[in-house]
Chain A
Amino acid sequence: MPYIKGTATSYEDLIAQLVVWVTDTAIHGDNAWELMRSEPWPRGTILKAKGLQGQDHCYIGLMALNIDSNSYANWYFTPANFTKYFVWSPYGLNLPLGRSFRLTGNGVVVDDSIYSISSANIFANSFKALVFGVFKQYAPGLDWDEQPGGLNIDPAGMGLKKGVLYLDGEPSRRFTLPLYPGTGYPGIGMNTDDPVEGKFTFWLKKDKSRITVITKNRMLFPDTEYWDMAQAGMLVPYHGRMQYPFPAVIAGSSSGAVSVGRLDSTFSPDNPVPLIDVQIDYGRHHWMMTRGMPTFPTMATDAPNSLSQIVLCLPDGIWQYFANQVQQIVPYVPRGEKDPVFIVDKPRKGPQISHYVTPTYTDLRGTEHLYQYPPLEDEIIYQLETLKLIQADSQRKNILGFLANLFWSSLPAQKYGEVVINGKKHVMLPNCWKERNWYYRTGLMGEYNPNDLLAKEIEIAQMTKQTNCLIRLED
């Protein structure tokens, strides 16, 4: 199960190099993959890989997204998509077949009623992303996100930003906007101006049924290295073959989700109210844990199946996001002020989340290195923990499997990048950038007691030490 290290100038360049490498039979022998296609969005790149049994197959996809402020509207307001996702859909008007209407560019006229749309954009920022997918079958005529067995999750339950529907010029109601093709899949990302050095470093590791991608980029604020990783392919399941036919998993250091808060006066012009929702941003514009390593997967809202850094195809064929915590924007009214400001809350457990990852679901601050007495002179022994995916809703209690080659380490990382552990090469990753805090206090939450402040700082420092991710390169 080989790996390579190289440099790329863009995600498109990375895909091109990846395709050449993973399909090379001289390197991978019988485990070389087959390229089905490699095209720009929305058709993307799809490779045929082997399944867990070796005789079966799965299809692993990559797709580069280049998002700007017009991307969503340019896609959503095409007649084909606007009728599908608004006019004839329960997301919007849900008009019956045969009911006549007329499209107006950003709206529709039904009988004498004029419906118009505003806020039709789920993107919080412009960004570049590389998203990953796993599919059960390959249909040449279908776009990347339509492939058989790909994510098919209802955006209505994600807390995703909604559009505003106006009827005859007056705001009428909010309505569900669909996910843009390719979003919702975990992946990696960067800002529109990246890579700031014109290139970035990457590592690729593959086996017969999974690919792991690591990138080391650079950012200017703070001026440091910026790490990303993603893995797509098969989970290592605890079930037998017939019990778990397609244990596909996708993990990435960006879920694409970010919590956004604002004052909204759409329905109450004289009395704006706080509005918080989930928007899409794979870039590195914020420090919330939804943009962090999959060892600590995080949702941007407390919901049973909202976006996170890990998504798994469950034994019943439904894709499920896994998260250990929720981090979102909350409104806070400073003393003496009328309007709230919007601050980032600390990561908290989500009562509605019933699919999570161990061991990092629990507070690991008490975990030390392995016990060795007398201590070794120049060596520390510590434990590597696989990430196990747990299902624990009201009916289903399951330990489903673990991610291959991806670990949480009880050793707080001192050095990032390639490290040799037990004679094997690994890559130690910070939580995207080194010295990044678990979260940053805002100073607005009534925190004035020195002892309370100290306790919070200690908690942040200790939790920060846990936020690492280790990936094995050599077997």
Chain B
Amino acid sequence: MAYEKHILTGGPNELINLLRAYAVNCGWTILVENDDLAIDGSGSIDGRRLVLQSPSGKTFASFRSANGKKIFNTQAAVGSGLGLVCAAGFQEFPASGFWYDQPGATKATNQEVVGVGIPVQPATTQTVYFNHIHDPAELILISVEVIDKTYQHMAVGEVQKVGSWTGGTIYSASRNSANMFSAFDTVSLENNSNHLFGLSQNASTFLRADIDAAPLRVPEVLWASGGPNTGGVTAGYTGKTLALPVMNINCLNAAWLPKVPHYGYLQSQNATDTGRNVNTLNCISVNLPLAVYVQRDPDSLMNFSQCGYVPGVCFISTRNLAPGQIYNVNYPASDTTYQAFPQTRRGGPMGYDGIAILQ
């Protein structure tokens, strides 16, 4: 589906309203949309809550706008942005009263709810792109140009499964819930960002999957996290590790890095490196698929099995592509187009790593 572009002036609340309208057009169901009370117990309304259900009925995505107060219990800082938690079920009025407290929500090993988030400027003009993948699986992507030429991304949907297994919801963002707030300058914004659908020291990609006996553990482990196999809410470790082919480059030599086929050596190794996924002869970047692997029992062996692909999103080098640019693959034969984005900024700390989104 072709992208939608909007100019955002009303900050996170306007973004969540735009997302609502876009998701409805994509066939997603609105389960909740309302103003929400701050989680600090002050009784004041500090943002909007939106819960979406995917057309398959299996994905429950709870969004919450942040407007100067924290929206997760685990956040140390406050700021402005958009948070997201996915769950295995839905409850309109959770007993705790907190928006994120959903049945089967993503939890760190200490049982605190974790999720993802992106910073959004409160009242500054920003450009936002929405993308929707329908086939082979559902995925909604939000890309916000938070400051000039610098992006933050968020995505939620379902993996294109390989094999048959229970689960399938996948969501990711440029940051996780513990790190989602940022000052709006180049250094702050980019230095703590992650690759969308990538591995990072602070996981910001989560997959709902019943993996071997993990759901039977006490407490249960329903989600796998794209990051280290230890740590708390900052690391985002859920008890099962997710392996993904792209990564923040400082993970490349980490002891916990899953030993699966990955693109670490094809990626930009620093800000000025264009990476290897670029061709000097024809300027083409190859659309490399994003496979998803899960950690099998027993955990200590660090064995992984592929379980699917992120639908409609590929890893590219943006050396020859501008942010937001539409390009044709297999030109002129296929007539299939993709939209390109940098992970944060071309020439930022992630170099020229980028994503391509099927149109």
Binding site for B on A (CB under 8 A): 79-80, 83-85, 87-91, 94-103, 136-137, 139-142, 146-149, 152, 178, 245-246, 316-318
Contacts and interface: CB of A to CB of B under 8 A. Distances in A.
B281 interface: yes
A84 B321 contact: no
Given A89-B271, A102-B187, 19 more contacts: A79-B185, A79-B186, A80-B347, A83-B187, A83-B190, A83-B348, A88-B270, A90-B272, A96-B249, A96-B250, A97-B250, A98-B250, A136-B282, A137-B283, A140-B322, A152-B319, A245-B281, A246-B281, A317-B279
Contact of B192 (A90, A98, A316): A98
A181 to B, nearest CB: 12
Nearest to A78: B186
Contacts of B348: 83-84, 88
Nearest to A81: B347
A200 to B, nearest CB: 35
Contacts of A97: 191, 248-250, 349-350
Max chain B C-beta neighbours (<10 A), residue from A136, A147, A318: A136
A48 to B, nearest CB: 15
A126 to B, nearest CB: 27
Contacts of A80: 148-149, 186, 345, 347
Max chain A C-beta neighbours (<10 A), residue from B149, B191, B248, B249: B191
B69 to A, nearest CB: 24
B352 to A, nearest CB: 10
A141 B320 contact: no
A139 B350 contact: no
Interface in B196-228: 201
Contacts of B250: 96-98
Contacts of A139: 320-322, 325
Given A97-B248, A149-B283, A137 B201 contact: no
B274 interface: yes
Nearest to A97: B349
Nearest to A139: B322
Interface of B: 148-149, 185-187, 190-192, 201, 248-250, 270-274, 279-283, 319-325, 345-350
Contacts of A140: 322, 325
Nearest to B350: A97
Closest 4 CB pairs of A and B: A141-B322, A317-B280, A148-B320, A88-B271
B85 to A, nearest CB: 23
Contacts of A245: 281-282
Contacts of B191: 97-101
22 contacts: A79-B187, A80-B186, A80-B345, A83-B187, A85-B271, A88-B348, A90-B273, A96-B249, A97-B248, A97-B250, A98-B192, A101-B191, A103-B187, A137-B320, A139-B325, A142-B322, A148-B283, A149-B320, A152-B280, A152-B319, A245-B282, A318-B280
Contacts of B323: 141
A139 B317 CA distance: 14
A91 to B, nearest CB: 7
A84 B187 contact: no
A91 B282 CA distance: 27
Nearest to B193: A97
Contacts of A316: 280-281
Q: Binding site of B, secondary structure by majority: helix, strand, loop or mixed?
A: loop
A90 B320 CA distance: 21
B320 A83 contact: no
Contacts of A137: 283, 320
B5 to A, nearest CB: 13
A317 B279 CA distance: 8
B272 A136 contact: no
B298 to A, nearest CB: 31
Contacts of B186: 79-80, 83
A284 B99 CA distance: 69
Given A97-B248, A149-B283, A84 B185 contact: no
A2 B58 CA distance: 67
A422 to B, nearest CB: 39
Nearest to B272: A89
B274 to A, nearest CB: 7
Contacts of A89: 270-272
A84 B272 contact: yes
Max chain B C-beta neighbours (<10 A), residue from A83, A85, A90, A91: A83
Nearest to A142: B322
Contacts of B347: 80, 84
A94 B268 CA distance: 13
B355 to A, nearest CB: 16
B349 A83 contact: yes
Contact of B283 (A87, A95, A136): A136
A317 to B, nearest CB: 3
Contacts of A96: 249-250
Given A97-B248, A100-B191, A141-B322, A84 B271 contact: yes
Max chain A C-beta neighbours (<10 A), residue from B248, B272, B280, B325: B272
Max chain A C-beta neighbours (<10 A), residue from B270, B271, B282: B271
A83 B271 contact: yes
Nearest to B347: A84
A251 to B, nearest CB: 21
Contacts of B319: 148, 152
Nearest to A102: B187
A65 B48 CA distance: 50
Contacts of A101: 187, 191
Contacts of A103: 187
B270 A94 contact: yes
Contacts of A136: 282-283
A141 B281 contact: no
A83 B190 CA distance: 10
A204 to B, nearest CB: 28
A79 B249 CA distance: 21
A142 B324 CA distance: 11
Max chain B C-beta neighbours (<10 A), residue from A84, A87, A99, A103: A84
A85 B272 contact: yes
A137 B285 CA distance: 13
Max chain B C-beta neighbours (<10 A), residue from A88, A89, A99, A152: A88
Given A80-B345, A98-B201, A141-B322, A90 B281 contact: no
A87 B186 CA distance: 12
B201 to A, nearest CB: 7
Nearest to A314: B280
Nearest to B351: A88
A402 B325 CA distance: 36
A43 B153 CA distance: 27
A136 B187 CA distance: 33
Contacts of B149: 80
Contacts of A79: 185-187
Contacts of A152: 274, 280, 319
B252 to A, nearest CB: 10
A89 B268 CA distance: 11
Nearest to B321: A139
A19 B148 CA distance: 30
A449 B68 CA distance: 84
A89 B192 CA distance: 17
Contacts of B273: 90
Contacts of B346: 146
Contacts of A87: 271
B339 to A, nearest CB: 12
